[in-house]
Amino acid sequence: MLRNGQEYLESIRDGRTIFVGKEKIVDPTRHPAFAGAAKTYAALFDFKADPANRDLLSYEEEGERYSMYYLRPRSLDDLRRRSRAHRAIAEFGYGLLGRAPDAMAGNITGLAMNATYLDSEVGGSGTNVMANWDRMRREDSFATYAIVPPPAARNPEYYQSKGVAQPALRVTSENDAGVVLNGMKMLATGAAYANEVLIGNVMPLAPDQRKESITCIIPINLPGLSLWARPPFNWSSVRTFDAPLTTRFDESDCVLVFNDVKVPWERVLVHDNAALSRNMYINTPSHVLANHQSNVRFGVKLRFLVGIASLVTRATGARDIPAVRETLGRLAAYEAGYQGMIAGQLEDFISTEQGFALYNRRYLYAAINWAMENHSILIDTVRELMGGAHFQFPASVDVLERPELRTAFESLWTAGAQNALDRMQLFKLAWDLIGSDLASRATSYEKFFVGPAFAVRNYSFMYAPWDEFHAIAEGLMARDALSQGSDARFRA
Amino acid sequence: MLRNGQEYLESIRDGRTIFVGKEKIVDPTRHPAFAGAAKTYAALFDFKADPANRDLLSYEEEGERYSMYYLRPRSLDDLRRRSRAHRAIAEFGYGLLGRAPDAMAGNITGLAMNATYLDSEVGGSGTNVMANWDRMRREDSFATYAIVPPPAARNPEYYQSKGVAQPALRVTSENDAGVVLNGMKMLATGAAYANEVLIGNVMPLAPDQRKESITCIIPINLPGLSLWARPPFNWSSVRTFDAPLTTRFDESDCVLVFNDVKVPWERVLVHDNAALSRNMYINTPSHVLANHQSNVRFGVKLRFLVGIASLVTRATGARDIPAVRETLGRLAAYEAGYQGMIAGQLEDFISTEQGFALYNRRYLYAAINWAMENHSILIDTVRELMGGAHFQFPASVDVLERPELRTAFESLWTAGAQNALDRMQLFKLAWDLIGSDLASRATSYEKFFVGPAFAVRNYSFMYAPWDEFHAIAEGLMARDALSQGSDARFRA
Amino acid sequence: MLRNGQEYLESIRDGRTIFVGKEKIVDPTRHPAFAGAAKTYAALFDFKADPANRDLLSYEEEGERYSMYYLRPRSLDDLRRRSRAHRAIAEFGYGLLGRAPDAMAGNITGLAMNATYLDSEVGGSGTNVMANWDRMRREDSFATYAIVPPPAARNPEYYQSKGVAQPALRVTSENDAGVVLNGMKMLATGAAYANEVLIGNVMPLAPDQRKESITCIIPINLPGLSLWARPPFNWSSVRTFDAPLTTRFDESDCVLVFNDVKVPWERVLVHDNAALSRNMYINTPSHVLANHQSNVRFGVKLRFLVGIASLVTRATGARDIPAVRETLGRLAAYEAGYQGMIAGQLEDFISTEQGFALYNRRYLYAAINWAMENHSILIDTVRELMGGAHFQFPASVDVLERPELRTAFESLWTAGAQNALDRMQLFKLAWDLIGSDLASRATSYEKFFVGPAFAVRNYSFMYAPWDEFHAIAEGLMARDALSQGSDARFRA
Amino acid sequence: MLRNGQEYLESIRDGRTIFVGKEKIVDPTRHPAFAGAAKTYAALFDFKADPANRDLLSYEEEGERYSMYYLRPRSLDDLRRRSRAHRAIAEFGYGLLGRAPDAMAGNITGLAMNATYLDSEVGGSGTNVMANWDRMRREDSFATYAIVPPPAARNPEYYQSKGVAQPALRVTSENDAGVVLNGMKMLATGAAYANEVLIGNVMPLAPDQRKESITCIIPINLPGLSLWARPPFNWSSVRTFDAPLTTRFDESDCVLVFNDVKVPWERVLVHDNAALSRNMYINTPSHVLANHQSNVRFGVKLRFLVGIASLVTRATGARDIPAVRETLGRLAAYEAGYQGMIAGQLEDFISTEQGFALYNRRYLYAAINWAMENHSILIDTVRELMGGAHFQFPASVDVLERPELRTAFESLWTAGAQNALDRMQLFKLAWDLIGSDLASRATSYEKFFVGPAFAVRNYSFMYAPWDEFHAIAEGLMARDALSQGSDARFRA
């Protein structure tokens, strides 16, 4: 069943606890720092529930209709359907919502494509994977994840010797009902707006970190759970015109703090198995399926960015300068190349042993690596194309409310045929995309949301067909050796 | 006479008009968006007036004491004295105040090192240059400049054909008392805090833009002059702890709007001479002297940035990883190289025909080019070294005010031997340097404050000794030709 | 009919004229500077004629069998067949033969997919396009092209005023039999080994350069035509072991000099139409079809390069250092991303109005742009991974021929379990790929074979859907405007 | 006493053994692969001995005259004299002779500025340092060095377990007369032309590698010592016109192979002290003094390169295109910045405890790092500016020897006012600088001659004033803490 926006908004008025500094917030839909983005997500639910978008954004199975991002793909066509849905959702959010509902849905659906793997390992529960996946799609749930330990977790000896509580989230006790969790978990993007959150580990744990291996999917409003938000960007009463993205798309990032939080067994996917808690993403389609969403989302953002770059140069009159035209051509080449890397994941898709279809893994990690390496450069390029233009506009569009200021503004800031207000709207938008707090956080996000650079490159290293690559040169060298008689290659 | 902070603050309570959006501000020293930086400048005046810093920051001439940045250097030692003063001022502002009082002072002092050049050209007044320079040093004036036309100025035909007022600042009438100005001028960094502003043109004007060539130094509070500020970053009531740089160093950028502003002749340096209004900076030491301040300031910021990079990696425990250590080594090499480029300007200084000493011009532009090309990369490097650390901290230090939050914060956010509050202070500071609105504006500033990239490279092109460079290869080729007889080089 | 290697070799013993400096060469198959590569091409013909490779490298039409690269693709599957054939040929040549027989074949086949376009323009002959394409596939011809004017062509006034002959190739007279050509044309890669050459213009001509617009396909041995080669790299008697690539893959580059060369009309595709002579590549599938070969070829070279990078680090023992492993992961990500961009051209293929299928144009140019921007960097990366290793080996493997040198070599140059000869073979190969004259020429080739950077980016600019890109931001801005009532967007 | 060229040439006809592959060479001054460079060095000795260059290239001490590069600098002026001499020598060799006589002279002279340090360590002999330095300057010796072990040296266990000889050079026996050496040492650039060679270790040895710590200065013609050269580039009979640099400046690289080579004690500087054998360069001025030569030399090459870039664009007519002009401006800025970093080493020079003056260490390493990071990029930039021009010229200037070819060449290759021969000379020269085998080897050389990148950055890391850098941010944070009362910084 597909929820509408109103139903979604009500579902997150569930008594959750969010701290913004010392301020406690329980209803993000009504607090100025959160209401803007909540409204955006609600509109997304309406968009998805709209019958006009039925085939694009949902699928039917056994008489029930589910959001497309819960579809387990069995064919190239299924993969294309998922890609199209991701694209529509990303376009709705201009590629700015990293953790839209279709993100974490890829993780759980990917697990559900090889749930028996979890059953085959001690402490894993494929049964719970399947049950939660099915529940989530039925509830049309919006979930997110928090899968990184606090930095201090690296040095457990310290805490033992000092008798201080280890901050890393862990199972501190367990009984028939389930486990009890204490500690903290980083960094739940979107948690302020989500219904539930996957707790787990994306980086390898040490073998003795069994208690930290707990992997579960829990509601945000569990007693004892609190969300500690980083500074919201939409906190002050900025006008939409002056910050058209910040006022709508601040998805928020929260640290999760657990204080004797009780989690029932049916929500637990992994318990007491350090290796499994990480490998589950790699040894199932989970990581790939989830990250295809991030590929598509970034591709949409890239189109937005390239479009802004072009509009900005048109507004400054620089678009016809050869060097600027070449820069735009290069940006367009990057955009096309990135979309090519996504399309290639379909052409060279993989069939899994479980009978499912999966995006090409190597191209997917290549696209992530590309985005990670180039996002800052792209932003910097647009910054250069903008020059100081943004700083030359008044602090706010409210200048229009005072007639004498309005007159001055409209006569002086107009540039040829472009009226002052249109120009200002464009530059405020461009700056909100590349220069604002929201933009700066996005720059860090694009660099790290899959993990640090070495981890991303490690995925590429892991899946590279080194034997094939080596065979090329080795074949040439061997041929030379053979054609010249044993031990006589040097005589050629 | 050196002013103290209190005197400075009083001097800018002069009835000036600043618009932040529709809000009109007349006393920047008491408005929340401006008071923080005003206080910083006042402290800088106190610092300069402190007898302990007398020799470092001021010089004596004919019994009077002036700020060092008004010194006309006659020797290598004088150049060193100026450099040291710039460094002390930059260190006071952590390299974040692009338009500190010593910036524009370099421009006027540079003009005063070759004032006769202005006298030799129609419409130029070396006499007024000398008089204003002398007045400014006596008043210990804090001046800034606005020397870029509005974008629309490029297409004057449009305005004539439409009967619309041309927005570019220009002389609209003149009489015995002086000139009357109308239009707008970009982008007066620091004007909200300065005593006066140089109006002029750093980019070439078309020959027929005579009326736009007006170059003058005027008080900020002239009737008819208003300052239109870009959005202040320190507007909301953020705590110093949470944004230690934004709360202190937002130097502000304002568009200047002129509405029948009367400027007396003694303040006019150039009138009705399009070429001179730009060449005055190039054909005197003005541009070089002023930009040495920007070199030194950037060098100080670079040290701050490299220090932060190191502290951040120490805090995350990554500093001993070989790849991180190599990154820090590279940053340190950049810092050293940049300081080398500054020191080289002294070793290879120039003697001018007027008997003054001047920093090496080519190394100076090389240093600007380096900063312009590398600042974004440096920021990005520090961003990578920080990872997502900053987002993992609470929105504000005010969590300490609620005991239960404080307890959780101090136990969970502590990392080994580093207590939570120290870590938070460091990461808030680091983010304010590289990720905040203030930081983002600085990234644009470092790219454009001397002009667009092609202009900066043009300075390097203009002053390169192409004949010497060509002579190397030409010498080799000619030697080959000669040694082999005429027309016979090919026989070698 | 598919030719074998022997037939091919005989076909280029046709009395052609090649000048290497002052030396005149008529049989490239027997001259030391050319015999190595000629043998390579002959082996490629044998490889193609091998019945085992029939389905991979050829197709059947109306009972005849043709090389696959003459196939006019009508479906996605046809495109895949062409791609596979290109890949097999590229693998045969390790991606080093830029102008293998399948390169220019793409051009003529692409023209043959829209020959009516040429008929529709004055001076164009679709009929001749079709006839030549059919002839070439029947003859299993190896063709290349020369489509750039000499630099001096830019300034025709000079030649007129001086009475000097304009060097650019042009029609100097014509009659019933055909045209007579004089002048020079750049830069016929592979011409020393090819059967025929397409003469034309890839860069726009000025409208008055009608006589230079001549576009024709001519045999290499036409009377009056001579090939002026750049210095061959395989000239001296180097051993294959010491330069395993140079001795096999120097495809040669020649300037074509025409001295009253007569070309019959049936070989002429365009005459007296400056615009058409360039647009024919863009307004038909020609440019795209031909450059897909270059994409695939580069992708194969990339795999070779990445494999060498890995083997080299394995040989030096550095492969397990984290930073090196990360570098290899990055190289592997680049390789995967590049293959993704190629695969994406299939997933998002285009259907032409003429009923043919075509690779996605935008992804294709993106891939070219990527290769052009990154090839030097990739080479530099491998150079860094090699360190100075190559210079530490003896000048030639012939040291093995002197027993006392062999003993010293085998004992001292052995490194652990890796014997000296194996190590030397690998490093000589690696150096020949990235450091030799052959490698250096390839670095220039990869940068320029499609034209200068601005031209490549221009293709990306031309085909970018700017309206779509603009619509994203414009849609957002318009929505804001609409939702707030006319002229009231600022009130939000 | 300063030797002339003839004396120098005779001095290297000393019976040395050089292997080029299997070929044994004993007189490099007469062998085609070496005679070109030998002649260059001889001309350099003549240049130095020329009375006109006396003050520039030599100094007097106690009535004797020595080459300037043996001067132990006691003042800023002495440092300037050394820099000027390096510059003159580098200009003589167009910056292409990395290991000119003034290179290694810096090493030994730097040791001689703190010889007591060697005396203070076990196995070190400051006495021998002083004696050899004095002898070398008296003999006007041309020395080079070989200070890297073979790769296999990293794994000594292997050799012990296999009973195979360890290839790393080591002392295999010793007696009253001296030590006996066996094994190999990398990579003696210039050894084919030098009089003697410093054997040592620039990278840290393991503590148990005592026998490898041997550091000595030995003649090239010692019995048992052979030089194994990498492939010479000037081997074949290329004309100077066609390769004006390769034919003159191939300084050669040789592996040194020792077979029971006897070295008398007076030539030994370090014996049986692993740590000292590396630290001697760092804990004396040796490394800095020697590398200032490399800085100056690279700066000269940079000027050559920038000049070539400009001439090439002038020849192709591209120099006036704005984008090209900007590229040249950027190259000129780099050149100026690099010279600035060198000049800065003088302005901020260091005084040593021994009463000597030394170039600023941090700027020096910064300059090395800059060159290492940017050389490939610079070469690539010039390659782009050249386009395919070089490949469009005939293989050799010998085309002029055949009248019909000469006529064609002179008419067709002339471009406007530039005659064909001049253009060809320029492009052959440019290619020899950036594209030939010689150029490719230089690209590797500039990357590695001081060691791998991490080592170079480690020098920058080691000498960075981290405490000063940290103090900036720490001071800010502490001030905040103090100004707000203990424990109360958060209340601001």
pLDDT of residue B485: 45
Q: Which of B240, B365, B473 sits opposite D480 (nearest CB)?
A: B240
Angle at CA of residue A51, ends A50 and A53, nearest 5° = 75
Interface of B with D in 117-136 (CB under 8 A): none
Q: For residue B464, list chain D residues with Cβ-Cβ distance below 8 A.
A: 306, 328-329, 332, 335-336
Residue A417 pLDDT level (bands cut at 50, 70, 90)? confident
Q: Which of B150, B448, B454 sits opposite A412 (nearest CB)?
A: B150
Q: Which of D322, D342, D461 sits opposite B328 (nearest CB)?
A: D461
pTM: 0.96
Q: For residue A322, list chain D residues with Cβ-Cβ distance below 8 A.
A: 322-323
The answer to whether residue D340 neighbours chain B at the CB level (below 8 Å) is yes
pLDDT of residue C415: 86
The DSSP secondary-structure symbol of B2 reads -
Chains touching chain B through at least 3 C-beta pairs below 8 angstroms are A, C, D
Are B326 and C323 in contact (CB < 8 Å)? yes
ipTM of the complex: 0.95
- How many CB contacts within 8 angstroms connect chain A with chain B? 207
CA distance A353 to chain C (A): 23
pLDDT of residue A490: 43
Identify the CA nearest to C253 among candidates C372, C95, C375, C145: C145
- Tell me the average pLDDT of chain C: 94
**What pLDDT, in 10s, does the model give residues B24-45?**
999 999 999 999 999 999 999 9
Are A230 and B392 in contact (CB < 8 Å)? yes
Are A443 and B236 in contact (CB < 8 Å)? no
Q: For residue C326, list chain B residues with Cβ-Cβ distance below 8 A.
A: 323
Asked if residue A153 lies in contact with residue B411, where contact means CB atoms within 8 angstroms, the answer is no
Residues D95, D93: Cα–Cα separation, whole Å = 5
Are C470 and A310 in contact (CB < 8 Å)? yes
Average pLDDT of span C428-434: 97
Are D244 and B477 in contact (CB < 8 Å)? yes
The answer to whether residue B398 neighbours chain A at the CB level (below 8 Å) is yes
pLDDT of residue C490: 43
The answer to whether residue D6 neighbours chain B at the CB level (below 8 Å) is no
Q: For residue B326, list chain C residues with Cβ-Cβ distance below 8 A.
A: 323
Q: Which residue of C has its CA nearest to D184?
A: C412
Q: Which two tokens stand for residue D186?
A: 């990398």
Interface probe with D: pick from C148, C166, C228, C319, most Cβ of D within 10 Å: C228
Average pLDDT of span C171-178: 97
- Of A455-459, B270-274, D215-219, the one with minimum mean pLDDT is A455-459
pLDDT of residue C237: 75
Residues B177, D166: Cα–Cα separation, whole Å = 93
**What pLDDT, in 10s, does the model give residues C359-390?**
999 999 999 999 999 999 999 999 999 999 99
Contacts 24+ apart (CB under 8 A), A123-129: A123/A213, A123/A270, A123/A271, A123/A272, A123/A273, A123/A276, A124/A269, A124/A270, A124/A273, A124/A276, A124/A280, A125/A268, A125/A269, A125/A270, A125/A271, A128/A265, A128/A266, A128/A267, A128/A268, A128/A269, A129/A269
Residue D149's SS3 state is coil
- Tell me the average pLDDT of chain B: 94
The answer to whether residue D419 neighbours chain C at the CB level (below 8 Å) is no
Q: For residue C257, list chain D residues with Cβ-Cβ distance below 8 A.
A: 408, 412
- The answer, yes or no, to whether residue A290 has pLDDT greater than 90, is yes
Asked if residue D28 lies in contact with residue D142, where contact means CB atoms within 8 angstroms, the answer is no
The DSSP secondary-structure symbol of C229 reads E
The answer to whether residue A345 neighbours chain C at the CB level (below 8 Å) is yes
pLDDT of chain D along its 492 residues, tens only? 799 999 999 999 999 999 999 999 999 999 999 999 999 999 999 999 999 999 999 999 999 999 999 999 999 999 999 999 999 999 999 999 999 999 999 999 999 999 999 999 999 999 999 999 999 999 999 999 999 998 765 566 666 666 666 899 999 999 999 999 999 999 999 999 999 999 999 999 998 899 999 999 999 999 999 999 999 999 777 899 999 999 999 999 999 999 999 999 999 999 999 999 999 999 999 999 999 999 999 999 999 999 999 999 999 999 999 999 999 999 999 999 999 999 999 999 999 999 999 999 999 999 999 999 999 999 999 999 999 999 999 999 999 999 999 999 999 999 888 899 999 999 999 999 999 999 999 999 999 999 989 999 999 999 999 999 999 999 999 977 755 544 444 433
- The answer, yes or no, to whether residue C156 has pLDDT greater than 70, is no
Q: For residue A397, list chain B residues with Cβ-Cβ distance below 8 A.
A: 21
The answer to whether residue D237 neighbours chain C at the CB level (below 8 Å) is no
Average pLDDT of span B368-381: 97
Residues A255, A230: Cα–Cα separation, whole Å = 8
Asked if residue C154 lies in contact with residue C204, where contact means CB atoms within 8 angstroms, the answer is no
User: How far from chain centre, in Å, is Cα A383?
Assistant: 24
pLDDT of residue C485: 44
Asked if residue D190 lies in contact with residue D37, where contact means CB atoms within 8 angstroms, the answer is no
Asked if residue D274 lies in contact with residue D285, where contact means CB atoms within 8 angstroms, the answer is no
Are B337 and D239 in contact (CB < 8 Å)? no
The answer to whether residue D363 neighbours chain B at the CB level (below 8 Å) is yes
- The answer, yes or no, to whether residue A318 has pLDDT greater than 80, is yes
pLDDT of residue B489: 44
Angle (deg, nearest 10), helices A403-412 and A420-434: 80
Average pLDDT of span B318-339: 96
CA distance C324 to chain B (A): 10
Q: For residue D366, list chain B residues with Cβ-Cβ distance below 8 A.
A: 333-337, 340
Residues B57, D107: Cα–Cα separation, whole Å = 42
pLDDT of residue C200: 97
- How many CB contacts within 8 angstroms connect chain A with chain C? 257
Q: How many Cα atoms are found within 13 Å in the side-chain-facing hemisphere of B309?
A: 26
Residue B492 pLDDT level (bands cut at 50, 70, 90)? very low
- The answer, yes or no, to whether residue B163 has pLDDT greater than 90, is no
One-letter amino acid of B135: R
Residues A418, A428: Cα–Cα separation, whole Å = 15
- Compute chain A's Rg from CA coordinates: 25
pLDDT of residue B160: 63
Are A457 and C329 in contact (CB < 8 Å)? yes
C253-264 and C178-189 strand pairing: antiparallel
Are B322 and C323 in contact (CB < 8 Å)? yes
Q: Which of C148, C152, C259 sits opposite D416 (nearest CB)?
A: C152
